[in-house]
Structure 1
Amino acid sequence: MNYDFIVVGHGLAGAILGYTLRKRGFKVLVIDEPKENSASKVAAGLVNPIAGKRFAKSWMADEFIPAADAFYGELEERYGQELFVHKPIYKIFSSVEEQNTWMAKSAGEGWHNYILATYTQTINQPDIHDPYGGIMIGRGGYLKVAETLNLLTAELLKKGLLLPERFDVAHLALTSEGVRYKDAQAKQLVFCEGYQVVNNPYFKWLPLQPTKGEVLEVQTQNFTPECIYNKAVYVVPVGEGRFKIGATYNWRQPDEEVTPAGKEELEERFQQITSQEFSVQNHWAGIRPAVRDRRPLAGQHPEHSQLNVFNGMGSKGVLMAPYLAQNFADALEGKANLMPEIHISRYFSLYYNYKEHHNHQP
């Protein structure tokens, strides 16, 4: 069978890129091994325009958020169900110093689209610990990631465009026309493997840092689901008194095993936000594809122009992927240049250094 593109990996990045290419009229084959605890499926799917203790506006939020809203809105219309839940985010100050940091920052330009209210003392919401107040952030929310991926997967299966198996590089051949994988031929192949790229002989030189994140789902009785809470962890309402709490960051043990230490850390952080009693219903772990400079990795291989990568969005895939998939698709079509901030050319020196020390490089 002949295709325009083969996309390897159907986590959020691969799913959004594959959909974007198919919408443009290309024939796309997706190769993906079904897996329940992929980082995409475990994630709470949070979109937060303002992140971190320094209250930095998320990189390119002004571009990413409208693109994400439009993309997920289109999917909701296509499948006839809610997938992206718009919710304000209450970012709780942990100290007077943090409150002062925000007050100094907020005097600058560029915040008015995102800040609904600033509180310098408690909002007096039952069971919430916020003695120093906080900020209520707009334009945020969360994607129902597992549901979204399941819908896109079902559509691919129905159309015969999904090979549900582990990609085996031994079956990949590079040809003058593009690539061949088993019985499939394509002009271009895009690797969207998440952290598994560290095992990819063509792209393992990229500085991707697999980072484990653990997440809890808890059940409570009276905790209000009107907003998402953020103080060291996020607390995302997922319906019927249940909340997702996450996430830990552990780059020392990049495996998918849950740990007592991870559970304890998340429980303690939740108890710093609320006095509400809770019971743990689920505990998951996934591995994020984080990058040293906190920018995604996209572009053509430095020597094999038929091979590409679209990866490295870490915990920001829901926010970044719709916009970046459009830019990457434009670049693949020759309609625009790939954004230099995400282009893997910034790491080509690592490739040539790797090649020099590994004679077996394909």
Structure 2
Amino acid sequence: MIYDFIVVGHGLAGAILAETLRSRGNTVLVIDEPKANSASRVAAGLLNPVAGKRFAKSWLVDTLVPAADAFYDALEVRYGRELFFHKPIYKIFSTIEEQNTWMAKSADDTWNDYISATHTQTINQPGIEDPFGGIMIEKGGFLHVYDMLDLLAEELLQQNLMLPERFEMKELELTEEGVSYKNIKAKHLVFCEGYQVINNPYFAWLPLQPTKGEVLEVQTEQNFSPECIYNKGVYVVPEGAGRFIIGATYDWRNPDEEITEPAAGELSEKFRQITKKDFEVTGHWAGIRPAVRDRKPLAGTHPNYKQLSVFNGMGSKGVLMAPYLSQHFADALAGQTELMPDIHISRYFSLYYDYIKHQNLQP
């Protein structure tokens, strides 16, 4: 048998791409080494249509949100299980200057679908510290990423469509028909390895920055409203019964997967700026995100090996981006469209030619 695709990696990007390709009738084999602390598995799965302190709509948000909703809704129907939790996000102003920044932007009608209320003073919600008010962001929520990955992986394993092992690059052979891996043949192979792409000899030239993120699980003695996600320097995601996920840190200097006391202290302190309620830390995890220099994903076929592609670099926006971009990338792989320039790896081809020059490799 010759598979249409081998997908290497079953984190958020790889899992959604594999599911998208399969939904179109392609035969797909996934190769992935199960790992409890992968970035996808420790993430809170936040979907936020508004970007950071700049109060900017997330890139392509008007297209990405409907595609994400449709994808996760379909999985919920299929598995009979709630996976995506639609929650508004209460973005708390840190200062009066931040409030003024938002007020200057709020007259723009493009915000109408995403901001349901602006508060210029506290909303007087028990347990919440918001002296300067904030904005209520709609169309947000969070995905139970680990549940989704487990459900999809279980289905693949049952159908013998997953190899739960580390991908061995030395076993990969490029052929005229496509690729061969341990006598498994496929027409095309897509690398969805997350930050590990920096060790991939075919795509190590891409400007991906491994970025460590740590998150806490906390239990509050008295539950405050679980009806929204809170954001003020960190996100606070309600998991029910007084339990919340707090995150995340960003560490470019120490890209390892070890939890640290300084990060726990930083997250705890930022949580205390949101609530004065007592809490207990009940969990602490770390993972490494695949961040990109220009904050846009990396997708496309290798400039010289047409059997190989990459789909990566969504950083902390994977829950929002992956469903639509998987569809778009699948269309491109099928020759039905051209990849949008914003995500195409061709924007970094100059780095590839520098790479092969310094490595004394043949293009």
Q: Which TM-score tier does this pair reach, normalised by the shorter chain? A: over 0.9
Q: Does 1:25 align with 2:20?
A: no
Q: CA deviation at 1:197?
A: 0.1
**Distance in 2 of aligned mates of 1:77 and 1:361:** 49
- Corresponding position of 1:78: 78
Residue by residue over 1:288-314, the C-alpha shift from the partner in whole angstroms, topping out at 9 and shown as x without a partner, is 000000000000000000100000000
2: CA distance between counterparts of 1:33 and 1:337? 32
Q: Which residue of 2 aligns with 1:242?
A: 243
Structure 1 residue identity aligned to 2:50: I
1:148 aligns with 2:148: yes
Q: 5+ unaligned residues in a row in structure 1: which ranges?
A: none
Match for residue 159 of structure 2?
159
DSSP-derived class of the 2:147 partner? helix
What are the residue-to-residue correspondences of 1:336-355 with 2, within 5 Å?
336-355=337-356
Give CA deviations for 1:245-285 in whole Å, capped at 9, x if unaligned.
00000000000000000000000000000001100110000
Q: Which residue of 2 aligns with 1:295?
A: 296
State how far apart, in whole Å, the 1-side matches of 2:3 and 2:347 are. 30
Aligned to 2:132: 132
The answer to whether the 8 A contact 2:87-2:229 is kept is yes
C-alpha distance after superposition, 1:299-345 (max 9, x if no partner): 00000001000000000000000000000000000011111100000
Q: Distance in 1 between matches of 2:61 and 2:191?
A: 25
Aligned-partner SS, 1:254:
coil
Preserved contact between residue 13 and residue 317 of structure 1 (Cα < 8 Å): yes
Give secondary structure in 1 for the equivalent of 2:157. helix
* Alpha-carbon distance between aligned partners in 1 of 2:6 and 2:362, rounded to the nearest angstrom: 22
- Work out the CA distance in 1 between the residues paired with 2:133 and 2:40: 32
What displacement does 1:360 show? 4.8
State the Cα distance separating 1:54 from its structure 2 match. 1.4
Following the alignment from structure 1 to structure 2, what is the Cα–Cα distance between the partners of residues 85 and 39? 20
Alpha-carbon contact 1:202-1:361 (below 8 Å) kept? no
Equivalent residue of 1:110, what SS?
Answer: helix
Query: Do the aligned partners of 2:127 and 2:275 also contact (CA within 8 Å) in 1?
Result: yes
Q: CA RMSD in A?
A: 0.8
Partner deviation per Cα, 1:37-61 (whole Å, 9 max, x = no partner): 0000100000011121111111111
Q: Which whole-Å CA distance do the structure 1 matches of 2:282 and 2:316 have between them?
A: 23
What is the aligned partner in structure 2 of residue 44 from structure 1?
44
Residue identity in the other structure for 2:153: T
Q: 1:308 is matched with which residue?
A: 309
Give the alignment's TM-score, normalised by structure 2. 0.99
Q: How many Å separate the matches in 2 of 1:219 and 1:183?
A: 50
> Which amino acid in 1 is paired with 2:339?
L
Asked whether the 8 Å contact 1:7–1:190 carries over to 2, the reply is yes
Measure, in 2, the Cα distance between the counterparts of 1:5 and 1:240.
43
Contact kept in structure 2, 1:201 and 1:361, CA below 8 Å: no
Distance 1:151 1:183 in 2: 28
Q: Distance in 2 between matches of 1:100 and 1:51?
A: 17
| Offset of residue 359 of structure 1 | 2.1
Whether the aligned pair in 1 keeps the contact of 2:218 and 2:279 (CA below 8 Å) is yes
Partner of 1:26, secondary structure, is coil
Task: Find the counterpart in structure 1 of residue 103 from structure 2.
Answer: 103
Instruction: Count residues with an aligned counterpart.
Output: 362
Residue aligning to 1:219: 219
> Is the counterpart of residue 324 in structure 1 residue 325 in structure 2?
yes
- Aligned pairs for 1:255-266 (under 5 A) are 255-266=256-267
CA distance in 2 between partners of 1:109 and 1:200 (Å): 45
Shift of 1:361: 6.6
Query: In 1, are the aligned partners of 2:216 and 2:284 still within 8 Å (CA)?
Result: yes
Identical positions, percent: 73
Q: SS where residue 273 of structure 2 aligns?
A: helix
Structure 2 residue aligned with 1:173: 173
Q: Write the distance in 2 (CA, Å) between the matches of 1:109 and 1:124.
A: 28
The superposition leaves residues 1-45 of structure 1 with CA deviations (integer Å, 9 ceiling, x where unpaired) of: 420000000000000000000000000000000000000010000
Q: Is the CA contact 2:223–2:241 (under 8 Å) kept in the aligned structure 1?
A: no
Structure 1 residue identity aligned to 2:20: T
CA–CA separation in structure 1 for the residues paired with 2:329 and 2:223: 45
- Write out the 4+ residue segments of structure 1 that deviate beyond 4 Å after TM superposition: none
Secondary structure of the structure 2 residue equivalent to 1:316: helix
Q: What is the alpha-carbon distance in structure 2 between the residues aligned to residue 42 and residue 284 of structure 1?
A: 6
CA distance in 1, matches of 2:180, 2:319: 31
1:203 aligns with 2:206: no
Cα distance between partner residues in 2 of 1:332 and 1:171: 24
Could you say what secondary structure the match of 2:110 adopts? coil
- The secondary structure found in structure 2 opposite 1:315 is helix
SS of equivalent residue, structure 2 residue 227: coil
On the 8 A contact 1:84/1:141 being kept in 2, the answer is yes
Using the alignment, how far apart are the partners of 2:170 and 2:198 within structure 1? Answer: 16
**Mapped partners of 2:176, 2:223: distance in 1:** 63
